[in-house]
Structure 1
Amino acid sequence: MSLRTFKHEQRIQIAFSYRGVQCRELLPPQPITKTAVTLAAGLRAEIQRKIQAGTFRYSDYFPDSPRARQFDLGGRQVLIADRLDAQLQVYERQVANGQLSPSTLVGYRKAICGIRMQYWRDKTLADATPSMLRDWIGGLGLTAKAARNLLTPLRSVFEDALNDGLIDYNPFDRIALKKLLRQTTKASDYEVDPFTIAERDELLKHARADERPMLQFWFATGLRPGELMALRWSKIDWIGRTARIDRNLVAKTEKGPKTEAGIRDVDLSDEAIAAIIAQKPATFLAGEHVWVNPRTNTPWETDAQIRKTLWEPLCKRAGVRYRNPYQVRHTYASSMLTAGANPWYVAQQLGHVDVQMVFRVYGKFIAQDFQKPKAQGLRLASSGS
């Protein structure tokens, strides 16, 4: 603290360090008295306490100072919409550089451009308070997983804004997000609803000759749709009777699995071997992919293609109650467990990191006395769906 002498007056000046910058500010004109000096010292101490606590806002104390414009006006002037759009551009560059998958970009774009995010687009960074964030998250009406996906770009916006010095704190750091999601999100309405033996047989019976091998193989291996579409002939071990699964096709782009557990050797039963033998004349010499779209004789590009051109018409022909194609994977898992397969073995075959998901998703299908099933002749057990 010091006195500054001007032509017509003296004024008290206080000094402090804020965000690594040495700041000096003149107090309003007033008589220089012992009381004024004491109050100035108290003001400086208060500012230092708030800086230490991370709650100091420059413009609250010195609204006309150039320093206030330097430190505060970024957050007060920058629209969240602009930062969200910039974040989307970051994601697009990451896809171009191979650091982000196109399917993940699709999800982020939906989150940023979706109706729920409109709430923030006309607000500035400084407008966002923890209470506003809590209220908005509490009213999303989404599952916990969907809510987390939606929040990812917004969290990145506030993290970057804090690092850029545009805001004094990240509002996400001041909410109990895990607890909030647990209390306000809804349970997923997706149901594991596997096919019975009779339904499976009807589907295979009504499949066209050029569709049947892929369906039979799918029911016998439980691959993810993207893994099925990406499977190459070079990954089939005829002697060891396994298929090496190390690629997944998502949004027309092949990529590796999310976890190391996703890279695995799936055992091929007699039914699976018979299916790929039946497929050999169609694609073994024609190209790399085992399974292709029989209508175009070109590799499948999306799971939506399978659903719309093959699966939906097949369910109608077979008279089988419609469930989405992913239920084929659930049918494989539930049938293995009902037949007494070891849950740890099933988890490995499915490509799960651990067995917890098997117990959580398929617990009601787990037989009490389980064992590793024999690869020969394992028959789908009735799931009672």
Structure 2
Amino acid sequence: MAQIRVRPNGRIQFDLSLYGRRFREGTKMLATPKNLNQAKATLKQMNAEIDLGTFQYRDYFPGSKKIALFESLQRERHPDRQYPFFDVYAQEWFDRQKAKWKSSYQSTVRNTLDRYLIPQFGNCLISEISLSQVEFYRETLMQEVDPKGEKKLSSRRINGILWPLVAILSLAADELEFRYPLRRYKALREERADSHPMTLLEVNQFLAAVTPEWRDYFVVRFWTGMRSCEVHGLVWDNIDFNHRLIRIRQNWVNGEACAVKTPKSRRELRMCDTLFDVFSRLKNRADKHAEYVFTHQGIPLDTHFVSKKLWFPTLLKAGLRKRRPYETRHTAAVLHIAAHENPLYISQMLGHSDTKLLFNVYAPYVANASRLDGLAFSQMMNEGPIENRV
């Protein structure tokens, strides 16, 4: 059972007796009549859950160091349970699946489990997790805001957080033979992220403002549209001066080299004169034993270093609006379309599987570049009857 006490400093304390152990949790609330009434309402709910056997320590004291002790005592009372707890099965699932994933994705899933799913569902028997629990938790994530009052997590991020939970419950239900609880679960509709490519004038402003040491690095990004991980993973062995080719063969992610994102990402980019001059200069300045093209303090570039030390300071210096470093990729796509390059060539350059993404995402930014505004049709129709043309 639980009780309320008032400490000598005048603050309210909860005093609980659970599984033969005493748990005390202080609060920052002073023992005013209003706070005491609020604490009594919480106490009534806690005691009701304790009587029903549904009380979870972390629901009331999420930051407490005593959560682990409570949950270990709780589990000792159920040694004959038929199904495992979520945290145990989730760890087994991760160990079984991680060999299929790149190390960067392993880190992402591991962080999702440790930061979100295990704290929320870890002490639940895996067979008892319900659709309502998952939907209530999702609603909690949707309501989180940052210090500026803006939504903290996008729908895409929330779907990413809950995907491992869906996969774990699906596998567990099949293997342990219980009713899968998320048959009616539907992922959130994801908003398409807006892109903010630069104009040619803005690219020139940026290149004029960037530190000379890093100008060639950004020329490569604006001219090729390579992803950050691709340009950071470039090695000199994959720069073919004889055939003027840049071979994309690996990524650099979280401090290690790994395979490219998709089969289409493994590609060759042709070097125009500008790029050939850039790589020639870089090669002449590089140490003869250097492996990677772009480095800082002897190691391949890190995306956080580029963002904080190079990209955003240069945007500020150039008087340009704030946007992600990834916009160099969008900018390259838009400017190639504006230059009337072959769409198949642009898609191949970007490592897309087809031209659909190219036209759906980038073409609207380029007036008249891709004949998507109806102007060509209008001009044709205004030339007069077809039978009168030569």
Query: Which TM-score tier does this pair reach, normalised by the shorter chain?
Result: 0.5 to 0.7
Where does residue 122 of structure 1 map in the other structure?
Answer: 123
Report deviation, 1:312.
2.3
Report the Cα distance in structure 2 between the residues aligned to 1:318 and 1:365, rounded to whole angstroms: 22
Higher deviation after alignment, 214-223 or 115-124: 115-124
Where does residue 303 of structure 2 map in the other structure?
Answer: 303
Q: 1:206 aligns with which of 179, 201, 209?
A: 209
Q: Deviations over 1:139-163 (max 9, x none)?
A: 6535454244223321332234234
Contact 1:218–1:328 under 8 Å retained in 2: yes
Where does residue 85 of structure 2 map in the other structure?
Answer: 79
Where does residue 38 of structure 2 map in the other structure?
Answer: none
Percent identical: 23
Report the AA paired with residue 258 of structure 1: K
Q: Show the 5 A alignment for 1:1-385.
A: 73-75=81-83, 78-90=84-96, 94=99, 99-115=100-116, 118-134=119-135, 136-137=137-138, 140-141=141-142, 143=154, 145-165=156-176, 167-172=177-182, 174-175=183-184, 177=185, 180-181=186-187, 184-188=188-192, 190-283=193-286, 285-293=288-296, 296=297, 298-365=298-365, 367-369=369-371
Report the Cα distance in structure 1 between the residues aligned to 2:158 and 2:264, rounded to whole angstroms: 26
Report the Cα distance in structure 2 between the residues aligned to 1:140 and 1:207, rounded to whole angstroms: 39
Report deviation, 1:121.
2.7
Q: Deviations over 1:178-204 (max 9, x none)?
A: xx22xx44524x321112222211222
Instruction: Considering Cα pairs closer than 8 Å and 6+ residues apart, tell me whether 1 or 2 has the greater RCO.
Output: 1
Report the Cα distance in structure 2 between the residues aligned to 1:237 and 1:130, rounded to whole angstroms: 55
Report the Cα distance in structure 1 between the residues aligned to 2:351 and 2:333, rounded to whole angstroms: 11
Note the residue ranges of structure 2 that are not aligned, 5 or more in a row.
1-77, 143-152, 373-390
Look up the SS of the partner of 2:89 in the other structure.
Answer: helix
Contact 1:133–1:171 under 8 Å retained in 2: no
Q: How many residues align?
A: 283
Contact 2:116–2:161 under 8 Å retained in 1: no
Contact 1:220–1:268 under 8 Å retained in 2: no
Report the AA paired with residue 222 of structure 2: F
Report deviation, 1:323.
1.5
Report the Cα distance in structure 1 between the residues aligned to 2:163 and 2:219, rounded to whole angstroms: 39
Report the AA paired with residue 169 of structure 1: R
Look up the SS of the partner of 2:246 in the other structure.
Answer: strand
Contact 1:206–1:317 under 8 Å retained in 2: yes
Per the alignment, do residues 301 and 215 of structure 1 end up closer, same or farther by CA in structure 2, a change over 3 Å counting? closer
Q: Deviations over 1:205-261 (max 9, x none)?
A: 222232111111211111101110111122122233221111111111211123210
Report the Cα distance in structure 2 between the residues aligned to 1:345 and 1:145, rounded to whole angstroms: 30
Report deviation, 1:284.
5.8
Report the AA paired with residue 368 of structure 1: S
Report deviation, 1:330.
0.8
Per the alignment, do residues 354 and 117 of structure 1 end up closer, same or farther by CA in structure 2, a change over 3 Å counting? farther
Report deviation, 1:124.
1.6
Q: CA-atom RMSD, angstroms?
A: 2.8
Report the Cα distance in structure 2 between the residues aligned to 1:139 and 1:356, rounded to whole angstroms: 36
Report the Cα distance in structure 2 between the residues aligned to 1:283 and 1:160, rounded to whole angstroms: 51
Higher deviation after alignment, 278-287 or 332-341: 278-287
Report the Cα distance in structure 1 between the residues aligned to 2:311 and 2:138, rounded to whole angstroms: 37
Report the AA paired with residue 329 of structure 2: R
Report the AA paired with residue 191 of structure 2: A
Q: Deviations over 1:107-164 (max 9, x none)?
A: 1123212346643233222212344445545665354542442233213322342344
Report the Cα distance in structure 2 between the residues aligned to 1:368 and 1:208, rounded to whole angstroms: 35
Note the residue ranges of structure 1 that are not aligned, 5 or more in a row.
1-68, 371-385
Per the alignment, do residues 137 and 361 of structure 1 end up closer, same or farther by CA in structure 2, a change over 3 Å counting? same
Contact 2:235–2:293 under 8 Å retained in 1: yes
Report the Cα distance in structure 1 between the residues aligned to 2:328 and 2:282, rounded to whole angstroms: 19
Per the alignment, do residues 337 and 284 of structure 1 end up closer, same or farther by CA in structure 2, a change over 3 Å counting? farther
Report the AA paired with residue 111 of structure 1: T
Report the AA paired with residue 337 of structure 2: L
